[in-house]
Amino acid sequence: MPTPAPTRAERWDIFCAVIDNFGDIGVSWRLARQLAAEHGIAVRLWVDEPAALAALCPQFDPQKAGQTIHGVAIHHWQRHTSGETAANPDLPQPFLAAPGDVVIEAFGCNIPESGLVAMAERQPPPVWINLEYLSAEPWTLGCHGLGSPHPRLPLTRHFFFPGFVPGSGGLLREADLPARRQAAAADAAARAALCRDFNMPPPAADALLVSLFSYENAAIAELFALWAAGDAPVCCLLPVSRAQPTAAAFFGQTLAAGDCVRRGALELRVLPFVEQSRYDALLRACDLNFVRGEDSFVRAQWAARPLVWHIYAQEEAAHLVKLDAFLDLYCAALTPPADAAVRDFAHAWNGGHIAADHWQNLRKALPELATHATQWCDELAKQQDLASALVHFCQARV
pLDDT top residue among 325 and 65: 325
pLDDT tops 70 at residue 86: no
Q: What is the DSSP string of 16-47?
A: E---STTHHHHHHHHHHHHHHHHH--EEEEEE
**Nearest to residue 99, comparing CAs of 66, 72, 127, 126?**
126
Beta carbons of 103 and 126 less than 8 angstroms apart: yes
**Nearest to residue 372, comparing CAs of 396, 398, 337?**
337
How confident is the model over 136-141, as a mean pLDDT?
96
**pLDDT level of residue 314 (50, 70, 90 thresholds):** confident
**pLDDT level of residue 62 (50, 70, 90 thresholds):** confident
Task: Supply φ then ψ for residue 281, to 5 degrees.
Answer: -65, -35
The continuous run of DSSP H or E covering 74 comes out as: strand 72-76
Q: Each residue of 181-207: b (16+ CB within 10 Å) or e?
A: beebeeeeeebeebbeebeeeebeeeb
**pLDDT level of residue 80 (50, 70, 90 thresholds):** low
pLDDT value at position 393? 96
Q: Is 202 in the same domain as 338? A: yes
pLDDT tops 70 at residue 141: yes
pLDDT value at position 84? 45
pLDDT value at position 15? 95
Phi-psi region of 71 (alpha: psi -120 to 50; beta: other; left: phi over 0): left
HEC assignment per residue over 273-295: CCCHHHHHHHHHHCCEEEEECCH
pLDDT digits (tens, 9 = 90+) for 168-209: 999 999 999 888 887 776 556 677 888 888 888 888 889 999
Mean pLDDT, the chain, integer:
90
- Domain assignment present for 6: no
pLDDT value at position 85? 42
**Nearest to residue 46, comparing CAs of 21, 70, 61, 67?**
67
Q: Is 222 in the same domain as 250? A: yes
Q: Is 32 in the same domain as 144? A: yes
HSE value, Cβ hemisphere, 13 Å, CA-based, for 254? 1
Helix locations, the chain, DSSP H: 23-39, 50-56, 93-97, 113-121, 139-143, 177-186, 190-197, 219-229, 244-251, 276-285, 295-302, 318-330, 336-351, 356-380, 386-395
pLDDT value at position 20? 64
Task: Supply φ then ψ for residue 67, to 5 degrees.
Answer: -100, 150
Q: What is the CATH number of the domain that holds 222?
A: 3.40.50.2000
- Domain assignment present for 3: no
Q: What is the CATH number of the domain that holds 127?
A: 3.40.50
Cβ atoms < 10 Å from Cβ of 254: 10
Task: Supply φ then ψ for residue 70, to 5 degrees.
Answer: 55, 35
Catalytic residues: 24, 294
Q: Is 292 in the same domain as 200? A: yes
- Domain assignment present for 4: no
pLDDT digits (tens, 9 = 90+) for 321-347: 999 999 999 999 999 999 999 999 999
pLDDT value at position 22? 73
Strand 147-149 versus strand 156-160 pairing type:
antiparallel
Q: Is 122 in the same domain as 247? A: no
pLDDT value at position 1? 46
Q: Is 186 in the same domain as 166? A: no
pLDDT top residue among 76 and 372: 372
**pLDDT level of residue 19 (50, 70, 90 thresholds):** confident
Q: Is 138 in the same domain as 28? A: yes
Q: For residues 295 and 47, give the distance between their C-alpha atoms in angstroms, rounded to a whole number.
A: 16
Burial bucket for residue 395 (CB in 10 Å: 0-12, 13-18, 19+): middle
pLDDT tops 70 at residue 88: no
Q: Is 288 in the same domain as 160? A: no
Q: Which domain holds residue 19?
A: 11-81+90-171+383-396
Total number of domains constituting the chain? 2
Q: Is 162 in the same domain as 277? A: no
